[in-house]
Structure 1
Amino acid sequence: MPSPITWTETVPVRSSDLTPHGTASMPALCVYLQEAAGHHADALGVSMRDLREKEQAWVLSHMYLHLDRLPQENETVAVETWPSGLDGLHATREFVLSVDDTEMGRATSRWFVIDTERRRPVRPPRLLYDLDMPDRPRPLRQAFDDLPTPDRTDHETTWTARYHDLDLNRHVNSVRYLEWALGTLPDALLDAHRCTGLALQFRAEATAGTPVHTTAQVDTADDGPAARHALHHAETDDLLAAARTTWAPRD
């Protein structure tokens, strides 16, 4: 039986996923996307487990997420995902999030495969080149460009990567970068606003013990604040990740 080229799974919003306002947090939603992508990759025969046998691993390069609203406590989120193309060494994947058959968010992402010994990109698995990609538009028409970093520092924090921040590749999980970026913003902004959009770009890996300096620039817009985020190695100043978030006042 052929593997489904489009994959859908449902995720109940757990109490541990909630913010103080009773809505799913942005890191929790990104976990939902990663889990759905991983389960679909497993069904297609290109999972992390399959790649590890070849000393390879998937690495997320970019993620863009736009939300009409945030799912709430006791709701169930349906995550639909599908591979959408190959561009050189990169593979793209799309997502649509729904609650009760009503679309409430959409995302697009770009990934590449690395040789885990040499830490260098390699061509994606041959299986992906043989797939008939779904003939449907991308839910977000987003170019995977370099994200701008802050021009000034309005807020800053320094974190240290710990053992439990690491993933199967033994580098800091992408969701942890997001938590650190959001954790740099003041509580007053987070309490008064909901996140409507997120862009993430990962530039370099961090491992256990890495000191990570996060900075944020927050600008006022008519529809709510917009923030630029940067995460640098606190000792070498190498850029590890960049992010952009948009916010709207809570209802």
Structure 2
Amino acid sequence: MAATSMMMLMQGREVNSLGTLRFKSKAVPSSSNGVLMVRASLQAPTMKDEVKTILKMTAPNQWNKLLHRNEVEDEMVANPFALGEIVKDNRIFSQNFTIKSYDMGPSRTATIETLMNFLQETALNHIRNMGLLNDGLGSTPEMSEKKLIWVLSNMHVVVDHYPSWDDNVQVDNWFISSGNNGQCTEWIIRDCWTKKIYARATSKFVMMNKETRKLSRIPEGVRREMEPQFLHCSPIMDGDSSRLPKFDYSRMEHVRTGLTPRWSDLDANQHVNNVKYVGLMLESVPKSFLKNHELSGITMEYRKECGKEDVLQSLTDCSIDADECNHLLRIEGGTVVARGRTQWRPKQAN
């Protein structure tokens, strides 16, 4: 599994199972600004044999191993406020974020859009740190020469807990090859200090010609650029969990019409950013439902680009037991832009 690669050694220092440096530490508050000063003693690297064993496991067993790894008391993360660092020969990238007041929603926790923005930002910074980022966001030099871009095909996010204001989170990102015209991008979001996992996500990007807007196979030159960056492992989550079932559009109970993207919703490739699709899709979820439920998972299937001039319609159908909803986002007139499925849990009383 990809996450286990984060246990590899970097510069002679031990890296824990999610890619950060391990320290046995004693925290002492600083005199003025509340930042913790850390006394750290480096541990000797002792994990090579364990890494080899875990990489041979099936994906479910790898994930269980990750979740039930031995915890180190008083363990802290090095450089929690750094922009990011490369681990394992540029194949694992870790970046840290602090939850700001504007990242929160009505529940006083980070929103699903905030978490998905973190995923996007980390993946792009990973490519930039590889030295492959060229004239377009996410485009390598060979892609730019052939006028190719990556576009998101599908996304699956599971949220165990939402961070709150001023929490420090770390996002770990890596890439996996996927067929002749795509790549999988994987993430884990966790607390910088306690190691508690907030969320995990997997996605597939496919290659598109920027001028014709048609999908393309990955050219051999682009494959040579990207291949050294791929981890050879299974996706972090089972692919079956990210497949959307067929559902009857005509029976969608909740409908919002007349939704129009704003200019600020467009990305550098001049179409609506993938995270904005999520907000538009959730516009048709009843507010009474949102007040009493928290989103625990979302699967998105992106079918068509959407521009500023498009007028959209958002449709939602909630199941009888109200823990799962099906969603449809389409241009008024019928063209499907995206499909989705969400899972929910009752909100806990404050």
1:126 pairs with one of 212, 219, 223: 223
Q: CA RMSD in A?
A: 2.1
The structure with the greater share of residues assigned to helix is: 2
1:157 to 242, 250, 256: 256
Amino acid at match of 1:31: N
Residue 339 of structure 2 corresponds to residue 242 of structure 1 = yes
Report the Cα distance in structure 2 between the residues aligned to 1:146 and 1:250, rounded to whole angstroms. Answer: 25
Q: What letter is aligned with 1:185? A: V
CA contact (8 A) 1:203 1:241 kept: yes
Q: C-alpha separation between the residues in 1 aligned to 2:145 and 2:108?
A: 41
1:188 pairs with 2:288: yes
Give the corresponding residue for 1:73: 165
> Alignment partner of 1:130: what SS?
helix
How far the C-alpha of 1:90 sits from its partner, in A, is 1.1
Please name the residue that 2:204 is paired with: 110
Helix, strand or coil at the partner of 1:59: strand
Structure 1 length as normaliser, TM-score?
A: 0.91
Structure with the bigger percentage of strand: 1
C-alpha deviation, 1:162, in angstroms: 2.8
- Aligned equivalents of 1:110 and 1:169: distance in 2? 18
The Cα shift of 1:69 comes to 1.0
Q: 1:250 to 1:136 in 2, by over 3 A?
A: same
**What amino acid sits opposite 1:86 in the alignment?**
S
Which has the larger Rg? 2
192 and 128 in structure 1: CA distance in 2 versus 1, 3 angstrom threshold: farther
User: Post-superposition shift, 1:56?
Assistant: 2.1
How far apart are residue 127 of structure 1 and its match?
3.6
Which structure 2 residue ranges, 5 or more long, are not aligned? Answer: 1-85
Give the fraction of aligned pairs with identical amino acids, expressed as a percent: 24
For 2:122 and 2:313, locate their aligned partners in 1 and report how far apart those are by CA, in whole Å: 30
How far did residue 93 of structure 1 move?
1.1
Offset, 1:161: 2.3
**Normalised TM-score (structure 2):** 0.66
User: Which stretch of structure 1 is more off in the superposition, 201-210 or 154-163?
Assistant: 154-163
Matched, 1:20 2:106: yes
Q: Which residue of 1 aligns with 2:325?
A: 227
2:138 corresponds to which residue? Answer: 48
User: Are 1:91 and 2:91 matched, yes or no?
Assistant: no
Q: CA deviation at 1:48?
A: 2.7
Give CA-to-partner distance per residue, 1:63-85, whole Å, 9 cap, x none.
Answer: 00011111111111111010022
Of 191, 196, 208, which aligns to 2:308? Answer: 208
1:207 Cα deviation (Å)? 1.0
Amino acid at match of 2:281: A
1:135 CA displacement: 4.8
- Unaligned residue ranges in structure 1 (runs of 5+): none
SS at match of 2:239: coil
Q: What is the CA–CA distance in structure 2 between the aligned matches of 1:48 and 1:104, rounded to whole Å?
A: 26
CA distance in 2: counterparts of 1:138 and 1:48, whole angstroms: 21
Query: Contact 1:61–1:202 (CA<8 Å) still a contact in 2?
Result: yes
Asked whether the equivalents of residues 79 and 98 of structure 1 are also in contact (C-alpha less than 8 Å), the reply is: yes
Deviation (angstroms), 1:148: 3.3
Aligned-residue offset at 1:54: 4.0
Higher relative contact order (CA 8 A, sep 6+): 1
User: Matches of 1:139 and 1:131 in 2, distance apart?
Assistant: 20
Quick one: distance in 2 between partners of 1:129 and 1:69? Answer: 33
**Equivalent-residue separation in structure 2 for 1:227 and 1:217 (angstroms):** 5
SS in 2 for 1:131: helix
